[in-house]
Amino acid sequence: MMLYMGRRAREAAAALALASTEAKNAALLLMAERIEAAAPKILEANAQDLEAARAKGRDTAFLDRLALTESGIAAMAGGLREIAALADPVGQVMARWTRPNGLEISRIRVPLGVVGIIYESRPNVTADAAGLCLKSGNAAILRSGSESFLSSLVIANILSEALVEAQLPDASIQLVPTVDRSAVGFMLGGLSGAIDVIVPRGGKDLVGRVQAEARLPVFAHLEGVCHVYVHGGADLDMARRIVLNAKMRRTGICGAAETLLVDRAAAPTHLAPLVKMLIEAGCEVRGDPATEAADPRVKPASEDDWPKEYLDAVIAVKMVDGLDEAIAHIARYGSQHTDAIVTEDRKAAEAFLARIDSAIVLHNASTQFADGGEFGMGAEIGIATGRFHARGPVGVEQLTIFKYVVRGQGQTRP
Amino acid sequence: MMLYMGRRAREAAAALALASTEAKNAALLLMAERIEAAAPKILEANAQDLEAARAKGRDTAFLDRLALTESGIAAMAGGLREIAALADPVGQVMARWTRPNGLEISRIRVPLGVVGIIYESRPNVTADAAGLCLKSGNAAILRSGSESFLSSLVIANILSEALVEAQLPDASIQLVPTVDRSAVGFMLGGLSGAIDVIVPRGGKDLVGRVQAEARLPVFAHLEGVCHVYVHGGADLDMARRIVLNAKMRRTGICGAAETLLVDRAAAPTHLAPLVKMLIEAGCEVRGDPATEAADPRVKPASEDDWPKEYLDAVIAVKMVDGLDEAIAHIARYGSQHTDAIVTEDRKAAEAFLARIDSAIVLHNASTQFADGGEFGMGAEIGIATGRFHARGPVGVEQLTIFKYVVRGQGQTRP
């Protein structure tokens, strides 16, 4: 059954690769409309999912992620409309040059092919991920979490109906029609070459399993252990604003700061005010001895705190002796996701930006900007920390590859 | 031991990522010089390898690939000088834009990290692959075939000495110091995350094994079943030149044509002359009934011939009924490597270029142009038919990924 889905996805992908921008956009707008119109039906399915999850004793955070509301459904439709408004990456000429022998070579964007998305409790991923795949000309095989299955199924059926009406293959978007765990294993094996890339959307357990077991490329980040380094040349007011935003704007997202590094040169003037600000904003501070000395409310940090992704109102704070120690700390404990330096010293900033090997490095800005929308790339299917193909926010462009088109006038190779 | 090599490569890669273009080029030029100077020593080691291979009863083709000559050594040095002359991809700004909030976002090329190269009998791969990796800021772990090990070892030692003299880490280029087969298995497992990509260089058995067993990305093509499609609108003279060159210029390279498709509309005028030309050039022609009828010297083709990569003076020839059948044939039997159409009909050409899903598609030019040098990309580490990260010739640019550098003035996310 899974292999059959794979074959249908491959066929759909071949048709989608040649679909016009107009047809894809028409389908996306139709999907948005139909999702809004079907809100009562989606909410009804979601209520059933929620009831079952409650009966299983799932916690509040889980139920929050699972729950859909009228405004959540409107946001899903709005997301599809935003994707329709994005430039179509397929067919874009990435480069074009002419050889001395007259051959005209173009590097043209083409879709990756078939994207497998494995997600957990958030049913809105069904529409978001499917929309991004459609716009970039890829077929999508979606494997929803068992707890959100009924909600996802209603949404996926609406998307398929819109595809048919827009005269695109209905198999462009397929939801695995089972909550059997073995489906995930099949997908991680690539369905005999039918899937080109896997995108896991969910917690660390899911992403870790996918990264360990997948026999094909994965777009993902396991965690975001993001650092803010307040350099000796940092302006205190700017450091305050950036640290507070990076840690506390939303603590549960991957771009939230987890560790604050304060340079020894800035510590006498900056460490105590930053710690005080964080504690008074409701953040628990776990510090090294220098930080403990700065405020009696600081708890001692242990070695476990440095590589920790709290995803909560907790931060680890350490004093470092210069740029080299800051960079070494981030290389050792970071997750190559997003790291920032705060300083007025341009030279130190450039050294940090060059030497930190993370998907996103920032100077004088909050780590919470780690987001495809904030980058102006439109929606993102996730953020990747791998070093292959895509890195940072994965938007429609990153869901493409290229081919070379060569136009000649009868040239043969000497 | 292999894990230790992996750790050293990772450390070297961190230093290489920040190495200046000048330092890398100085090392490449020094390598070229030292290789020329050490020609007698290299030839002596190669003679030992050749003697052992002869004693093992290796065939002539194998010994040809293994054998180094004075001019082969000069070509190796010349290749390194060419790589030195290429633009440095590292640090290139691929894109730069400013957001409405003032954030300046740049996408900057950075090296992939550590490249593992697994090769067979050709000792010159040692210098070629190592040079491309060095220029692109990547550390290389080289695993030579057992039969070329002594030759490769002498070359690798010369490269390492040049690195040290140019003040770059000697572990930037490491040759696996064993001919034990288990090393390949370790490399395909990625050495605990120390290797970022594997490049197999060798025959179909090696590439097939690497593709099947690698737990990390692979740049490779299993085979090049390349097609030339002579459309109804083809000029006969041009078709003659292109078909002859595509098949016979060199029959053993991956871009050599293996199948000729002649459109029904062109067959009455073009089929017999093309077949006659090929046979008289020394090529065996295996044809479908239409081709057999065109010349008594044609042998009947069987179903096995259509997906066959002969790498020899043999070609399969088939009459097809229009563009759709030609495209369907290539989709079914091709290897997504390189395919060409010959026609004066621009519309048919554009449809072929758009619909054929191969790394390289050509109009009115020989498939033998499938080569990084011919594309103007400089040397290539290989040709990839995968759909991930790189496709077609893999040169220094394709050995890079990017990171985002964000410059702010204190921005926080609302």
Looking at residue B215, its pLDDT comes to: 87
- Determine, for residues B249 and A413 on separate chains, whether the beta-carbon distance falls below 8 Å: yes
CATH no., domain B2-219+389-407: 3.40.605.10
- Cβ A355 vs Cβ A327: under 8 Å: yes
**Strand spans (E) along B133-187:** 139-143, 173-175
Looking at residue A2, its pLDDT comes to: 87
What CA–CA distance (Å, rounded) separates B365 from B374? 12
Q: What percent of chain B has pLDDT over 90?
A: 93
Out of A184-193, B24-33, B35-44, B298-307, pick the least confident. Answer: A184-193
Secondary structure letter of residue B310 according to DSSP: -
B20 part of contact set with chain A, CB < 8 Å: no
A361 part of contact set with chain B, CB < 8 Å: yes
Confidence check: pLDDT of B141 > 70: yes
Q: Which of residues 83-102 of B touch A (CB under 8 A)?
A: 97, 99
Looking at residue A179, its pLDDT comes to: 67
Question: Residue A102: how many CA atoms within 13 Å on its side-chain side?
Answer: 10
Give which of A103, A307, A392 is closest to B365, Cα–Cα: A103
Q: Any idea where the domains of chain B sit in the sequence?
A: 2-219+389-407, 226-369
- Cβ A284 vs Cβ A299: under 8 Å: yes
Q: How confident is the model at residue B179 (pLDDT cuts 50, 70, 90)?
A: low
Looking at residue A1, its pLDDT comes to: 80
pTM for the model stands at 0.94
SS3 B330: helix
- Cβ B119 vs Cβ B94: under 8 Å: no
Confidence check: pLDDT of B170 > 80: yes
Measured at the alpha carbon of residue A342, what is the angle toward residues A340 and A347, in degrees to the nearest 5?
Answer: 100
Looking at residue A267, its pLDDT comes to: 98
Secondary structure letter of residue B116 according to DSSP: E
Looking at residue A161, its pLDDT comes to: 95
Q: What is the ipTM of this complex?
A: 0.94
Looking at residue A61, its pLDDT comes to: 86
Q: What is the pLDDT of residues B378-404, one digit of tens each?
A: 889 999 999 999 999 999 999 999 999
Question: Residue B271: how many CA atoms within 13 Å on its side-chain side?
Answer: 25
Looking at residue B182, its pLDDT comes to: 86
Q: What is the pLDDT of residues A161-175, one digit of tens each?
A: 999 999 999 999 999
Q: Which of residues 116-175 of A touch B (CB under 8 A)?
A: none
Give the distance from residue A301's alpha carbon to the nearest chain B alpha carbon, in angstroms: 27
Give the distance from residue A213's alpha carbon to the nearest chain B alpha carbon, in angstroms: 9
What CA–CA distance (Å, rounded) separates A318 from A307? 12
Q: What is the average per-residue pLDDT within B116-143?
A: 95
- Determine, for residues A411 and B99 on separate chains, whether the beta-carbon distance falls below 8 Å: no
What CA–CA distance (Å, rounded) separates A227 from A330? 7
Q: What is the pLDDT of residues A227-271, one digit of tens each?
A: 999 999 999 999 999 999 999 999 999 999 999 999 999 999 999
Structure tokens at B165: 């003299």
> Which residues of chain A have a pLDDT value below 70?
179
Looking at residue A25, its pLDDT comes to: 98
Give the distance from residue B283's alpha carbon to the nearest chain A alpha carbon, in angstroms: 18
CATH superfamily for B226-369 is Aldehyde Dehydrogenase; Chain A, domain 2 (3.40.309.10)
Residues 6+ positions from B59 with CB-CB distance below 8 Å: none
